[in-house]
């Protein structure tokens, strides 16, 4: 069985193949279809959903009038067939069966052995020849495996990933990951029973506001009876949890061990290769690592909203289009130590789907080669520390499409 990370790698290799050329819309469509399948929502895909979420059609788009999804699906199948025609005969491939928009990961058919005629006399096996063949075959497989790992060139996307992530992708390395937790008040429902005395230790009454109860009915799909508010600081936000899943898959497929640091112990991350997920207001570790003179995620009183703003105030990014356009921030920091360079990556967003968009952007082999070229434009070398602002189109906390909006080279 293929792991999710392996499936995303197959997808990225397909998207950056010559078969797709400059067909950005086909890339967006295929990425959306596959991500929906990987997220367990493939059975909910429809022509309308693809048109709106992948091709940018308006919400009132009518598939029976506009055939753009069907036309592009036909072209998409042709491009996929063109790519996989030159792939390994028994490798994995993505299929989009006709009459369906659900992506399937299948192994290509193995070469068929030719059967001997029925009147062919049986031969007596020679055991020494048999075991000699087994040994020779095992040596050949080992040689092919080593050649694939050490001699065959990596894809452009994989080379770019190893430049950007640096020591975090070293074979058999360990990466510390800290996921920010927000201080929250859980809504708990005990019906007609009395609430517990010990758990939670603190209980607050819910707001006496009709709008609150209407919101609860709409979101919980239940009529409230006895509600209380329970303080909690152990829950990550949805988009950042999705980003953590993307990160774990990305590192696992490269043989990297992940160590989750519980709580918010910034001191434990000193001199480690680390990843921090979350806004500075939710994480002391993220707050302590904010670079001077760079972008930051912060509240802008003049607009009364959160934004990603440069230190000089000349660049600012805010949510757009009713919140479906969001922004994420990637910060890459490198520190030289006696044991060699250590790198820390921070992912944050105006909302948590911005954090997910930032992670999606930096784990996509499709995006990274162009990012490396842009970062090398000034000096011809990859800077040790830099920031990338990512613009995303999102549906709730799920990233549908991301693109680079700005770059800042840090001293």
Q: Which residues of 113-137 are buried (b: 16+ CB within 10 A; e: fewer)?
A: eeeeeeeeeeeeeeeeeeeeeeeee
Assess contact for 167 and 219: CB atoms under 8 A. Answer: no
pLDDT of residue 123: 44
State how far the Cα of 215 lies from the Cα of 366, in Å rounded to an integer: 41
pLDDT of residue 132: 52
pLDDT tens readout for residues 202-228: 888 888 899 998 888 888 877 888 888
Threshold 0.85, pTM exceeds: no
Assess contact for 308 and 238: CB atoms under 8 A. Answer: no
pLDDT of residue 406: 94
Rounded to the nearest 10 degrees, how much is the dihedral formed by the CA atoms of 19, 20, 21, 27? -170
Q: pLDDT under 50 in the chain at which residues?
A: 110-131, 134-136, 138-153
Tokens of 206: 């819910």
pLDDT tens readout for residues 355-388: 999 998 999 888 889 999 999 988 889 999 999 9
pLDDT tens readout for residues 96-135: 888 889 999 888 754 444 444 444 444 444 444 444 554 4
């Amino acid at each position: 069985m293929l792991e999710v990370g392996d499936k995303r790698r197959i997808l990225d290799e397909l998207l950056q193949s010559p078969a797709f050329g400059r067909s950005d819309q086909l890339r967006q469509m295929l990425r959306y279809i596959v991500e929906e399948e990987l997220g367990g929502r493939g059975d909910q895909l429809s022509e309308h959903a693809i048109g709106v979420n992948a091709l940018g059609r308006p919400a009132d788009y009518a598939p029976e009038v506009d055939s753009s999804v069907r036309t592009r699906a036909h072209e998409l199948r042709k491009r996929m067939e063109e790519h996989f025609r030159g792939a390994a005969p028994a490798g994995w491939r993505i299929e989009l069966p006709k009459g369906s928009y659900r992506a399937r990961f299948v192994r290509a058919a193995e070469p068929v052995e030719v059967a001997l005629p029925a009147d062919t006399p049986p031969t007596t096996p020679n055991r020494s020849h048999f075991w000699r063949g087994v040994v020779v075959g095992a040596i050949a497989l080992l040689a092919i495996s080593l050649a694939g790992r050490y001699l065959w060139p990596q894809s452009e996307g994989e080379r770019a990933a190893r430049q950007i992530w640096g020591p975090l992708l070293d074979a058999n390395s360990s990466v510390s990951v800290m996921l920010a937790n927000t201080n929250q008040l859980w809504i708990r429902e005990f019906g007609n029973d009395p609430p517990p005395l010990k758990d939670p230790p603190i209980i607050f009454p819910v707001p006496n506001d009709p709008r609150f109860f209407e919101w609860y009915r709409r979101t919980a799909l239940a009529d409230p009876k006895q509600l209380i508010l329970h303080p909690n600081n152990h829950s990550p936000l949805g988009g950042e949890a999705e980003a953590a899943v993307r990160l774990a898959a990305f590192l696992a497929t490269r043989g990297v061990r992940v160590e989750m640091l519980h709580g918010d112990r910034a001191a434990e991350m000193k001199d480690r290769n680390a990843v921090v997920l979350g806004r500075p207001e939710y994480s002391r570790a993220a707050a302590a690592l904010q670079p001077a003179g760079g972008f930051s995620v912060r509240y802008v009183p003049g607009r009364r909203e959160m934004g990603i703003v440069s230190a000089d105030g000349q660049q600012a990014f805010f949510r757009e289009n009713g919140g479906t356009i969001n922004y994420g921030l990637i910060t890459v920091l490198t520190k030289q130590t006696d044991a060699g360079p250590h790198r820390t990556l921070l992912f944050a967003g105006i909302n948590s789907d911005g954090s997910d968009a930032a992670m999606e952007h930096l784990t996509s082999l499709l995006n990274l080669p162009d990012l490396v070229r842009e970062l090398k434009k000034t000096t011809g070398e990859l800077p040790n520390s830099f920031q990338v602002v990512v613009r995303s189109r999102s549906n709730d906390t799920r990233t549908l499409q991301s693109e680079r909006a700005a770059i800042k080279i840090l001293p």
